[in-house]
Structure 1
Amino acid sequence: MLQVRRYTADDCDDTIAIFLSAIREVASRDYSPAEIEAWAKVEDRAAWVERRASRPTFVVEHAGRAIGFSDLEPDGHLDMMFVHPAHQGIGVASLLLATVEEEAKKQGIGRIFTEASLTARPFFEGRGFGVIARQSVEKRGQRLTNFRMEKFL
């Protein structure tokens, strides 16, 4: 049974582990080893904690263990959505997105936007997001392709 709840400070290490695992084990299908190495880093744990606490962040648990997370900034930006590789394809991301959309509606936000990776683009397209632009972003000396996408609620 999947359960969604608000992020707490105790989730820091679990969310970092989910982030790193998802990039290294899932996004690695679509990005080069050098791109993965540049992307899969959390150099400042305190900044991670501050970022998660600065906005609504949601965690999905299965059997009492965090297996995915997502967030929503005040302007409608969905900054992060990551699911642990061992729990892909069971509805975690769909539950997170539904929760983010519900939160946006509560806050009076009519548009959610994100920068979806090559890996995540099909998920977001399948849930009503449209591509605004293809982008090339710099991460630690590497250029990574992603897609600026949006959905009107």
Structure 2
Amino acid sequence: MAVSTSSIALRLATPGDVDPLRSIYAASVNTLAQGHYSSRQIAVWAGYAEAPAFGDCILEPLTILATIAQQPIGFCGIEPTGHVASLYVHPDHARRGLGITLLRAALERCATPTRGYWLAEASLLSRPVFERLGFGQVGLEQTDRRGIGFERFQMLRDCECSAAGA
């Protein structure tokens, strides 16, 4: 079921949003990654919400927040280069089109990325959202967080893309 666009508002993140976004990030990973990732991977991934660098991950890129009744329910960050730095939705609002809404809004805000294309490292969870908006897989990345391996999909979308719904 799609999220009603009349019930959500989009705005830019501010320093006061960092703590609520930590909670959304951790809840999203802890809940939505079940069945896709091991418990060790989930613990390490969700644990990043408490890292001091988490705030920089929100405030350095242009991060768009989705809210209902002024309460954050999801976010998407994009750098001027076109790198999509984050895309997380609270599990209570997942699988209703909010991820696509957030990603679309971020792409519109960064309509001319300095690289000439948009790039993301997608998880198993977010890959379908990127594909729906015209991103294609260009590689597979093996990364390590605190000694735990992760596989991410390198996704690319050219600025000329006119994917359906984009």
The TM-score with structure 1 as length reference comes to 0.91
1:117 aligns to 2:123 (yes or no): yes
Residue 28 (structure 1) shift = 2.1
Aligned residues of 2:120 and 2:155 also touching (Cα < 8 A): yes
- Give the aligned length: 152
Distance in 2 (alpha carbons) for counterparts of 1:152 and 1:67:
28
The match for 2:51 is 44
Distance in 2 (alpha carbons) for counterparts of 1:37 and 1:86:
20
3-state SS of 2:76 partner: strand
Judged with a 3 Å threshold, the aligned counterparts in structure 2 of structure 1 residues 26 and 152 are, in CA distance, closer, same or farther, namely same
1:4 aligns to 2:10 (yes or no): yes
The match for 2:27 is 21
Distance in 2 (alpha carbons) for counterparts of 1:119 and 1:51:
19
3-state SS of 1:57 partner: strand
Q: Please report the RMSD computed on the Cα atoms of aligned residues, expressed in angstroms.
A: 1.6
Judged with a 3 Å threshold, the aligned counterparts in structure 2 of structure 1 residues 149 and 107 are, in CA distance, closer, same or farther, namely closer
Higher helix share: 1
Which structure exhibits the higher relative contact order, with contacts defined as CA atoms closer than 8 Å and separated by 6 or more residues? Answer: 1
Aligned residues of 1:59 and 1:67 also touching (Cα < 8 A): yes
Residue 110 (structure 1) shift = 3.4
State, as a whole percentage, how many aligned pairs show the same letter. 30
3-state SS of 1:29 partner: coil
1:130 to 127, 136, 139: 136
The match for 1:97 is 103
The match for 1:88 is 94
Aligned residues of 2:82 and 2:113 also touching (Cα < 8 A): no
Residue 29 (structure 1) shift = 2.3
Residue 51 (structure 1) shift = 3.2
Aligned residues of 1:104 and 1:110 also touching (Cα < 8 A): no
Residue 63 (structure 1) shift = 2.0
State which drifts further: 100-109 or 51-60. 100-109
Unaligned ranges ≥5, structure 1: none
Superposed, 1:72-87 pairs within 5 Å as: 72-87=78-93
State which drifts further: 49-58 or 124-133. 49-58
The TM-score with structure 2 as length reference comes to 0.85
Aligned residues of 1:2 and 1:92 also touching (Cα < 8 A): no
1:140 aligns to 2:154 (yes or no): no
